[in-house]
Amino acid sequence: MDEIEKAFQEGSALYKAESYSDAVKKIQFAAKHGHADAQYRFGECYYYGQGVIQNYEEAVKWYRKAAEQGDADAQFNLGFCYYEGQGVIQNYEEAVKWYRKADEQGDADAQFNLGFCYYEGQGVIQNYEEAVKWYRKAAEQGDADAQFNLGFCYYEGQGVIQNYEEAVKWYRKAAEQGNADAQYSLAGCYMSGDGVRQDYGVALKWYLEAAKQGNVEAMVTVGDWYSEDGNDDEALNWYLQSFEEGDTRRYFRVASIYEDQKNYKKALDLYNIAVPIFGQMAEERYESLFAQLYPGTPIPKIDFPEDDDE
């Protein structure tokens, strides 16, 4: 093992041990002597600010050196920097160029991103058939995001003939890898019977899996499910989690649950918050509950947020 390779190996070991300051010294030495893997790793250090001050321009510089030597990870990351405009002027065409180079080495992330570029028409002419082609290449390598997007294309009939059974097949593959969007979509298929035999129990199972991973639509759906089933405590649990993610659709319902549970203070506060969203319905409940709790006290005026368009 020569001095350059030895420095890279020692630096990599320190990097994995998260001793970034020590790792950078050895990785930098190897990178400056043309070691492609070290150049890529040095770019990572600058991208994430590990052992050095974060600097996207420096990250791009070292990604480029490694990419030009054929390092697929560096080619993908350089493409991503062009896509996001990190350290370089945003340029979708350059992003596609480097994604293609990484794809030539079978990089699944690059294949997925090429599919996304074709789907959105970024750096290339929008073409759903091409998007499906690239999603499929990545999906067949096990990329969960690509599997979900391929399933979505089959469900919507975008770039392929609409086929719910194929949609379910790819949703399931992604869902089993923990993709929350796929879990939510697979649940929807079981709810509606699209591509599978309708099964509400299985639908709930997948909605719960998605909700546990933070999928807001699933949280609201599970909350509705339990609410309709008369289990207000579980409904409340999921609605409150959706609130933490910024969703406001069930403010009125949660206020009603609090009122039914005789938790009047929380109900009043939430009706108040819900007025700008739900209007007269929430305002009437707020005023009625306020009058019940504080008889003879003037009802405070509710301040509506100003319209930004005015």
Query: What gap in Å lies between CA 230 and CA 40, rounded to an integer?
Result: 56
Comparing CA positions, the residue from 173, 172, 179 lying closest to residue 210 is 179
Q: Is the pLDDT of residue 137 over 70?
A: yes
What pLDDT, in 10s, does the model give residues 151-198? 999 999 999 999 999 999 999 999 999 999 999 999 999 999 999 999
Q: Taking a C-beta distance cutoff of 8 angstroms, is the pair 171, 138 a contact?
A: no
pLDDT score for 276: 87
For residues 159 and 274, the model is more confident at: 159
Q: Which of 53-67, 93-107, 214-228, 296-310 has the lowest mean pLDDT?
A: 296-310
Q: What percent of the chain has pLDDT over 70?
A: 96
Q: Is the pLDDT of residue 310 over 50?
A: no
Report the run of H or E that residue 150 belongs to, with start and end. Answer: helix 144-156
What pLDDT, in 10s, does the model give residues 7-20? 999 899 999 999 99
What pLDDT, in 10s, does the model give residues 27-73? 999 999 999 999 999 999 999 999 999 999 999 999 999 999 999 99
Q: Is the pLDDT of residue 309 over 60?
A: no
Read off the pLDDT of each residue in 132-147 and give the average, rounded to a whole number: 98
Instruction: Collapse the DSSP code of 267 into the 3-class scheme (helix H, G, I; strand E, B; otherwise coil) and give the result.
Output: helix
Distances (CA, A) of 158 to 64, 89, 167: 35, 31, 11
Angle at alpha carbon of residue 67, lines to 62 and 73, rounded to 5°: 95
pLDDT score for 303: 59
pLDDT score for 1: 62
Instruction: Collapse the DSSP code of 224 into the 3-class scheme (helix H, G, I; strand E, B; otherwise coil) and give the result.
Output: helix
Query: What gap in Å lies between CA 145 and CA 153, rounded to an integer?
Result: 12
Distances (CA, A) of 164 to 155, 187, 197, 210: 5, 13, 11, 20
Rounded to a whole number of angstroms, the distance between the first and last alpha carbons of the chain is 70
Query: What gap in Å lies between CA 230 and CA 11, rounded to an integer?
Result: 59
- In sequence order, the 6+-apart residues with CB closer than 8 A to the CB of 212 are none
Query: What gap in Å lies between CA 209 and CA 198, rounded to an integer?
Result: 18
Amino acid at 256: S
Longest dimension (CA), the chain: 88
Query: What gap in Å lies between CA 213 and CA 216, rounded to an integer?
Result: 9
Query: What gap in Å lies between CA 119 and CA 108, rounded to an integer?
Result: 16
Question: Mean of the per-residue pLDDT values for the chain?
Answer: 93
The model's confidence at residue 293, banded by pLDDT at 50, 70 and 90, is confident
What pLDDT, in 10s, does the model give residues 203-225? 999 999 999 999 999 999 999 99
Q: Is the pLDDT of residue 305 over 70?
A: no
Query: What gap in Å lies between CA 218 and CA 207, rounded to an integer?
Result: 5
Query: What gap in Å lies between CA 111 and CA 49, rounded to an integer?
Result: 27
Amino acid at 112: F
**What pTM does this model have?**
0.88
- Other residues' Cβ atoms within 10 Å of the Cβ of residue 24: 21
Comparing CA positions, the residue from 53, 56, 58, 104 lying closest to residue 80 is 56
